[in-house]
Amino acid sequence: MSLADRLRAEIMARREDLIALTQDLIRIPTLNPPGAHYREICDYLDRRLRASGFDTEFIRATGAPGDSDKHPRWNIMARREGVRAGPCVHFNSHIDVVEVGHGWSMDPFGGEVIDGKIYGRGACDMKGGLAASIIAAEVFIATCADYVGAIEISGTADEESGGFGGVAYLAERGYFSPSRVDHVIIPEPLGKDRICLGHRGVWWAEIETLGEIAHGSMPFLGDCAVRHMGAVIARMEEHLFPALAARRTEMPVVPEGARHSTLNINSVHGGEPEQAADYTGLPSPCVPDRCRMVIDRRFLIEENIGAVEAEVREMLENLRVSRPGFDYTIRELHRVLPTMTDRDAPVVGAVARAVAEVFGRDADYVVSPGTYDQKHIDRIGRLKNCIAYGPGILDLAHKPDEYVGIADMEQSALVMALALAELLNE
């Protein structure tokens, strides 16, 4: 019996364990924000991984954005050494999930199994991938007990809000340095037969237009900041959106629309604050003197972050010159540079050969439209040999009735186990 057949048989023998593990993880509601139940899920992973021979460590991201005594940012790092020194393969999964939202037809934290799928918030993004990586490691250890090097598994906080209380914090402290780790696989839901090499860049900014308050019955005595913001949106529609749509990357970004530069108007708010839901009065008649917009600009590896920022500032300056009374402020909220691992990187080759073994066809190479924690492993950890590979359909992430396929998890676990066999067996 071949190694692939032995690993497959071990995974199938643990099918019920894989299902139960995924359900248990889903049933811990690690909502972010605010960052709930992080210690609870780390304690659960600690019990599981120590039982499989891993040494574990808890790391709180003290002082990181979002960390507080009420909602501490806990992470778990687990490591299992082989028979002698050698390379280290690290599986990194984020433990947080986004808000539930509306439109669910079942308990979002029930972990219900229907027609070969496990449902729940985080099932796809990315507790199914975390479970598959644990099963892959356990099966590999049981089958290839004399491996060299080390296997690491981490559960990290706050990926959904930037990763600063998770992978960024750990990378700053050397946990993802090339002297410690050689290969990183992040089991994000990019598809069981696809290797994700990286992601686009992001620039978030808040634009505020300025006006002058006055009585709403005499708006000519004031200056409406909302109308000024309307001029910003009009200029975006006329010039900026068409310019971005005309740019196209050579990065294999999915879906197709994300191969272009994009801009999302994330929020707009002008005038007096919204009142509480139980307020029964009318608004006061005022000309709004402030209007704020948050923009989410996704850019390509061929674009320069300085040019991305300058393009928006130039648009606003042109309005200042051409529109009477127009004034504004702008401040950056967040920036992430694009990243893409080379196709000839060792971890890419190992996973690609494993995909071909399991599915009988070449792997597809893709790039994510949004960012994930590879950005911190690359930029802070200075570790380029990193990819995302895991079960699940990206389009289901953050949606109601999110699910992960059981068969997809089994096949992805086999791919991960075969990659371990190549990277850690002499």
Question: Given this model, what pLDDT does residue 53 score?
Answer: 98
Question: Given this model, what pLDDT does residue 426 score?
Answer: 64
For the segment 60-65, the average pLDDT, to the nearest whole number, is 97
pLDDT at 65 over 90: yes
Give the integer Cα–Cα distance in Å for 72 and 420: 33
Question: Given this model, what pLDDT does residue 135 score?
Answer: 98
pLDDT at 274 over 90: no
Give the integer Cα–Cα distance in Å for 386 and 383: 7
Question: Given this model, what pLDDT does residue 24 score?
Answer: 98
Angstrom CA distances, 193 to 305, 391, 411, stand at: 32, 9, 9
* Mean pLDDT of all residues belonging to the chain: 97
For the segment 17-30, the average pLDDT, to the nearest whole number, is 98
Assessment of whether the complete model's pTM goes beyond 0.75: yes
The pLDDT tens digits for 290-338 are 999 999 999 999 999 999 999 999 999 999 999 999 999 999 999 999 9
The pLDDT tens digits for 147-204 are 999 999 999 999 999 999 999 999 999 999 999 999 999 999 999 999 999 999 999 9
The pLDDT tens digits for 392-419 are 999 999 999 999 999 999 999 999 999 9
Tell me which long-range contacts 382-386 makes (C-beta under 8 A, separation of at least 24): 382/177, 382/178, 383/176, 383/177, 383/178, 383/181, 383/184, 384/341, 384/342, 384/345, 385/182, 385/183, 385/184, 385/341, 385/345, 385/346, 385/347, 386/183, 386/184, 386/185, 386/186, 386/341, 386/347
Q: Is the dihedral of CA 325, 331, 333, 334 positive or negative?
A: positive
Residue 1 pLDDT class (50, 70, 90 cuts): confident
Helix (H, G, I), strand (E, B) or coil at 218: coil
On the 0-12 / 13-18 / 19+ scale of CB atoms within 10 A, 51 is exposed
Give the integer Cα–Cα distance in Å for 415 and 380: 28
Q: Taking the chain, what is the end-to-end CA distance rounded to the nearest angstrom?
A: 19
pLDDT at 100 over 80: yes
Share of the chain above pLDDT 90, in %: 98
Question: Given this model, what pLDDT does residue 365 score?
Answer: 98
For the segment 373-393, the average pLDDT, to the nearest whole number, is 97
Give the integer Cα–Cα distance in Å for 11 and 17: 9
For the segment 130-140, the average pLDDT, to the nearest whole number, is 98
